[in-house]
Amino acid sequence: MSGAASVAASGRSLQAVTVLGATGSIGSSTLDVLARNSARYEVFALTANTRVEAMESLCRQHRPRFAVMQDEAAAEQLRARLADLPQTQVMQGVEGLCRVAGDAAADVVVAGIVGAAGLLPTLAAVDAGKRVLLANKEALVMTGDLLTSRAKAAGARLLPVDSEHNALFQCMPQTAEGTSLDGVSRLLLTASGGPFRGRTAAQLADVTPAQAVAHPNWSMGRKISVDSATLMNKGLELIEACFLFAVPASRIDVVVHPQSIIHSLVSYRDGSVLAQLGNPDMRTPIAHALAWPERIDAGVAPLDLFEVAQLNFERPDTVNFPCLRLAREAVDAGGTATAVLNAANEVAVAAFLDGNAGFMTIPATIEHCLGALPVRPADTLDAVLEADAQARECAAAFLA
């Protein structure tokens, strides 16, 4: 264990955890698991963007050494509100986020910021060789091999928190480094199908943001909920799986499984198929990644198979939900194409949530940007950031 982890009364050292995106859905599930396991973990730092009130209450509850607000004015307000809590130092901006992600005293970093905003802090954690619990899939989709090779070089342990990838991780052959592909023929990525499964493109044209964020099985942030409704979440996850496990997209199938009980499966050359099952609750993959290779309590109710009764499977509909097809095309194109796909999606989803674009404008925007922008090698951070900026401009112009 790295850093200045303190020593518990039992004599066992506590692992110091930085939670990036503490006020979000992943952040709150993480803090719940940490609180249940306070004999193993202590909260080192919490971060958020603008939500000062939520952050104040988390700081009072968890007493972190550092609290970071990305937004400068929000940091100022938090500092004033926490004047009576001298043990918590308030910092701000991307520098503050990167500082607590890479701090020598942090052992574990939970990457729970949504979107490209999570990239630099996640990279800071990776470069500092931390155990990085990756929820922020957009960071990996943008950078691909760049992130995984930097993790390798720095000795960082990248553990998937995304439930499907955590399931794949659990079902793949385990090695000291994580997983191998020995004997593996295919990865089967499950998808709930989202709130609009079964609808046609015409029926999807005028769905509202409120309908799109009402996911049938999972309670999540707004952006990922829209991604689940368009199937772009599965597209991003397909790309995530390619980079995490060094598998080509042609060896990954997406299986729609509306109950969200099987979180993904691994098919082996001898005909065996291993699956990971559980109630749809992010505390399970978070607890798994926190403690791996050990197991800890997550507060999740045991799975009642008699209650579940049925597990169903369907092929994904890539005609009415083009985002999954676009993600396959982007990962096959390689280089900066996945960064372009991600940025165009973020801009279009924000426009949809703000009521400035229709639901089917999301895939149209992404398809336009993928066609309009050149694919360059994604071998440096600058190349990725440039592709991200160009795609944001291109998407904004298309939407205007």
User: What distances in angstroms separate CA 278 from CA 77, 228, 237, 262, 304, one per listed residue?
Assistant: 41, 19, 19, 7, 9
Residue of the chain from 142, 188, 220, 331 that contacts ligand NDP (CB under 6 A): 220
Q: Report, in Å, the least distance between residue 368 CB and ligand NDP.
A: 23
Query: Shortest Cβ contact with ligand NDP: which residue?
Result: 24
**Number of residues binding to ligand NDP, judged by CB under 6 A:** 27
CA–CA distance, 358 with 243 (Å, rounded to integer): 31
CA–CA distance, 99 with 70 (Å, rounded to integer): 12
Compute φ and ψ for 21, nearest 5 degrees.
80, 40
Residue of the chain from 62, 65, 137, 376 that contacts ligand NDP (CB under 6 A): 137
CA–CA distance, 226 with 245 (Å, rounded to integer): 26
Q: Report, in Å, the least distance between residue 215 CB and ligand NDP.
A: 9
Tell me the window of 204-212, 220-228, 320-328, 373-381 that interacts with ligand NDP (CB under 6 A): 220-228
Residue with tokens 């800890």: 296
Tell me the window of 132-140, 209-217, 335-343, 359-367 that interacts with ligand NDP (CB under 6 A): 132-140
Q: Does 221 bind ligand NDP (CB under 6 A)?
A: yes
Q: Does 113 bind ligand NDP (CB under 6 A)?
A: yes
- H or E segment and range at residue 41: strand 41-48
Q: Report, in Å, the least distance between residue 321 CB and ligand NDP.
A: 18
Q: Report, in Å, the least distance between residue 152 CB and Mg ion.
A: 24
**Residue 365 interacts with which of ligand NDP, Mg ion, none, CB < 5 to 8 Å by class:** none
Cβ contacts of residue 324 below 8 Å, gap of 6+?
A: 231, 232, 234, 235, 238, 254, 316, 318
Residue of the chain from 282, 326, 330, 344 that contacts ligand NDP (CB under 6 A): 282
Report the largest interatomic distance among the alpha carbons of the chain, rounded to a whole angstrom: 63
Q: Does 25 bind ligand NDP (CB under 6 A)?
A: yes
Round the CA-based radius of gyration of the chain to a whole number and report it. 20
Q: Report, in Å, the least distance between residue 218 CB and Mg ion.
A: 8
Compute φ and ψ for 55, nearest 5 degrees.
-70, -40
Residue 237, SS3 per DSSP? helix
Q: Per CB under 6 A, which of residues 38..57 are in contact with ligand NDP?
A: 48-51
343 with 391: CB under 8 angstroms?
yes
Q: Does 281 bind Mg ion (CB under 5 A)?
A: no
Tell me the window of 135-143, 192-200, 238-246, 357-365 that interacts with ligand NDP (CB under 6 A): 135-143
Residue with tokens 């559980």: 278
Q: Does 112 bind ligand NDP (CB under 6 A)?
A: yes
Task: Report, in this order, helix, strand and coil percent for the chain, each rounded to 5.
Answer: 45, 15, 35
User: What distances in angstroms separate CA 84 from CA 42, 46, 81, 156, 394, one per listed residue?
Assistant: 21, 18, 8, 36, 47
Q: Report, in Å, the least distance between residue 326 CB and ligand NDP.
A: 17
| Strand pairing class (66-69; 89-92) | parallel
Residue of the chain from 136, 192, 230, 267 that contacts ligand NDP (CB under 6 A): 136
Q: Among residues 163 and 179, whose Cβ is nearest to Mg ion?
A: 163
Q: Report, in Å, the least distance between residue 268 CB and ligand NDP.
A: 26
Q: Per CB under 5 A, which of residues 150..189 are in contact with Mg ion?
A: 162-164
Single-letter code of the amino acid located at 386: E
**Number of residues binding to Mg ion, judged by CB under 5 A:** 3
Residue of the chain from 5, 14, 16, 23 that contacts ligand NDP (CB under 6 A): 23
**Residue 221 interacts with which of Mg ion, ligand NDP, none, CB < 5 to 8 Å by class:** ligand NDP
Residues engaged in binding Mg ion (CB under 5 A): 162-164
Residues engaged in binding ligand NDP (CB under 6 A): 21-27, 48-51, 70, 112-114, 117, 135-138, 162, 218, 220-222, 224, 282
